[in-house]
Structure 1
Amino acid sequence: MDHKDRQIIRALQRDGRMTNQDLAEAVNLSPSPCLRRLRNLEKSGAIIGFAAVADAKLYGLAFEVFVRIKLEKHQEDVVQNFERRVQAMDEVLECHMMTGQVDYQLKVLVSGLDAYEDFIRNRIHPIGGVGSIETSFVYGTVKKTAVFPDPS
């Protein structure tokens, strides 16, 4: 991947609906080479898809929550069960394995406190093997972007 490919990706991260003509102009290429590069980025897996960025609150999911989970044991079956169950939960937008005091950090969207309580009681607790749960509610966002920084 070269600098021009990264320019294409960043331009599409800013506006995934731009036409190839607009993309070509944004990255200073003619349309044919730009489209060829775009198709190669998709084929290689560097671009994995396109999605609409929506406002969660307007959608009805007003509570963004970070949930940190520590497992009781790190046996392979416990870990696999936890990860498999979390992958199936629509409320979980992201699940990261962490270093430090917790094993996982989840980014969760729910409609309110009652929905969060239901999520913990009826989705997380039944998994089993969970040693502790720490919760932080987001009350404001200073920065949120999907545009990668330039690595150079």
Structure 2
Amino acid sequence: MARPVTDRRGSPPAKEHVELPSELDACDMKILKALVNDGRISWRDLSDQIGLSLTPTLRRVRRLEAAGFIESYTATLDEQRLVGSLSVFVSVTLDKQSEDTLTAFEAHIGALEEVTSCFMMTGNVDYLMRVVVRDLNHYQRLLIKLTRIPNVAHVNSSFALKAVVRRSGFYI
């Protein structure tokens, strides 16, 4: 789970009036790109990198946080060392798509630690998930859990052979 925005000492940003940006300028984009590449960059290094002094840099970061452009700061972990090396894309079709059915399915999926992401889809499937497991036996146990979720009509699995592109953020 991503941790909420705090200052470098771990406390919430100071409550001050912050003018929210209506548009992002080139300097804002440089800040966002630098933070996507290294969320632990020091304020001094960030200001040097973008070509502003420290105070205007901090003001801009606070403004980007307050406006919701920066949601949180996180660490990228080595999932293979921590969880497993098998990445599986799982598509799920439900037998009905009522609001209660969708909400119940999403609650069940949210409780499964193997699920790294889950998207409601258009088209032939209702949900597409990425799960990470240690091995095939681990996936088989997870598959049994998935098929026991009420209203699951069909599960289709595709095993990833290798990651070709993997970004923690999106391209800015």
Task: State the TM-score, normalized to the length of structure 1.
Answer: 0.91
| Alignment partner of 1:76 is 2:99 | yes
TM-superposed deviation, 1:115 = 0.9
TM-superposed deviation, 1:147 = 3.7
Could you tell me whether the CA contact under 8 Å between 2:86 and 2:160 is conserved in 1? yes
TM-superposed deviation, 1:149 = 2.5
| Alignment partner of 1:135 is 2:157 | yes
1:91-130 matches, within 5 Å, as 91-122=114-145, 124-130=146-152
Q: Which residue of 1 aligns with 2:40?
A: 17
Higher relative contact order (CA 8 A, sep 6+): 1
**Structure 2 alignment gaps of length 5 or more:** 1-22
**Structure 1 alignment gaps of length 5 or more:** none
Report Cα offsets for 1:9-40 as digits up to 9, x if no partner. Answer: 11111111110111112222111111111122
Identity level (%): 35
2:111 alignment partner, one of 82, 88, 98: 88
- The structure carrying a bigger helix percent of its residues is 1
2:53 alignment partner, one of 20, 30, 33: 30
Could you tell me whether the CA contact under 8 Å between 2:76 and 2:168 is conserved in 1? no
Q: Which runs of 4+ in 1 moved over 4 A?
A: none
- Give the counterpart letter for 2:28 in structure 1: D
- Give the counterpart letter for 1:128 in structure 2: P
Could you tell me whether the CA contact under 8 Å between 2:92 and 2:125 is conserved in 1? yes
| Alignment partner of 1:65 is 2:88 | yes
3-state SS of the aligned residue for 1:94? strand
Alignment RMSD, CA only?
1.4
C-alpha separation in 1, matches of 2:45 and 2:170: 20
TM-superposed deviation, 1:84 = 1.4
Could you tell me whether the CA contact under 8 Å between 1:10 and 1:147 is conserved in 2? no
2:166 alignment partner, one of 132, 136, 144: 144
